[in-house]
């Protein structure tokens, strides 16, 4: 029996092997999501390999996301890198968008968007290197400026996407927080996890209402998510914005290569 056959057998869910795989996967998701984004593709793929339908996998990963971002937010707050007031204001349009996005995701398959998502993320690499200081130093004038309706619309659209599928939403949030709101990557990361923490329960509730959450698997992997969220936040603070920039590049390339089937080679 191979590993896929083993983990997809419902009788093996509570064996130490499957629990270990779920917790480890959750840990790596927590680290990657906290520092960059798109880590959720790991648990999303794992849940589907276990025989879980795409829509239920999409709902189940939200359990770990809520707990992971809670742990990371607390760490960023303690270290003094979280602009809490601005983060709350940004979270409002994101949360509204996430409700609509989650309702849409509850009824259709997310796969049709993955290739487009990968192309968009690859284009982001150009912007990461076109003006590197923008990502590592921030722009004070933008940070202190009031939110415009255009920025509110951008964050609403990101929330719409995040409600639809959590995969990649962190990278979109980081890009908007740096390029539009003026934060450096470290402080943008802190606001990112706060906004995801605020909107994720709304998205999770939609999946719960539609009976598309497997609590058993979600809570087991969430143990790893929490630990990963703490580790990711500490790494971000210790190693700084330039580390986050390079981490982003690696994650984007890995995600795009998976979507286009290069991993199978």
Residue 153, token pair as written in the block: 């619309």
pLDDT in tens, 18-31: 899 999 999 999 99
For the chain, which residues make up each domain, given as ranges? 15-264
- Give the sign of the dihedral formed by CA 165, CA 119, CA 233, CA 137: negative
Say if residue 35's pLDDT is above 90.
no
Radius of gyration (Cα) for the chain, nearest Å?
A: 17
Residue 182, token pair as written in the block: 């003026």
- Per-residue confidence (pLDDT) for residue 104, from 0 to 100: 75
Q: What CA–CA distance (Å, rounded) separates 225 from 69?
A: 9
pLDDT in tens, 67-84: 999 999 999 999 888 888
Averaged pLDDT for residues 251-262: 74
Q: What CA–CA distance (Å, rounded) separates 265 from 224?
A: 29
pLDDT band at residue 129 under the 50/70/90 scheme: low
Closest CA to 166 of 190, 186, 189, 195: 195
φ and ψ of 147, to 5 deg: -70, 135
How many residues are recorded in the chain? Answer: 265
């Amino acid at each position: 029996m191979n590993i896929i056959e083993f983990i997809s057998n419902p009788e093996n869910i509570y064996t130490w092997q499957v629990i270990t795989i779920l917790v480890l996967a959750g840990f790596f998701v927590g680290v990657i999501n906290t520092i960059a984004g798109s880590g959720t593709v790991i648990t999303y793929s794992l849940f589907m390999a276990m025989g879980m339908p795409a829509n239920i996998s999409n709902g189940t990963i939200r359990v770990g996301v809520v707990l992971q971002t809670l742990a990371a937010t607390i760490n960023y707050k303690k270290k003094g890198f979280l602009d809490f007031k601005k983060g709350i204001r940004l979270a409002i349009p994101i949360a509204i968008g996430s409700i609509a996005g989650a309702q849409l995701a509850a009824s259709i398959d997310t796969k049709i968007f993955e290739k487009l998502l990968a192309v968009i993320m690859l284009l982001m690499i150009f912007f990461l290197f076109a003006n590197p200081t923008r990502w590592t130093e921030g722009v004070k004038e933008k940070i202190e400026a009031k939110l415009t309706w255009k920025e509110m619309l951008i964050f609403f659209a990101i929330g719409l996407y995040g409600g639809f599928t959590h995969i990649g939403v962190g990278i979109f949030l980081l890009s908007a927080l740096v390029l539009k709101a003026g934060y450096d990557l470290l402080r943008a990361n802190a606001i990112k996890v706060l906004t995801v923490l605020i909107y994720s329960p709304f998205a999770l509730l939609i999946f719960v209402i539609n009976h598309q959450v497997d609590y058993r698997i979600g809570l087991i992997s969430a143990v790893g998510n929490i630990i990963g969220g703490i580790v990711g936040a500490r790494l971000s603070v210790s190693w700084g914005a330039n580390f986050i920039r390079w981490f982003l590049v690696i994650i984007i390339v890995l995600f795009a290569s998976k979507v286009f089937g290069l991993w199978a080679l």
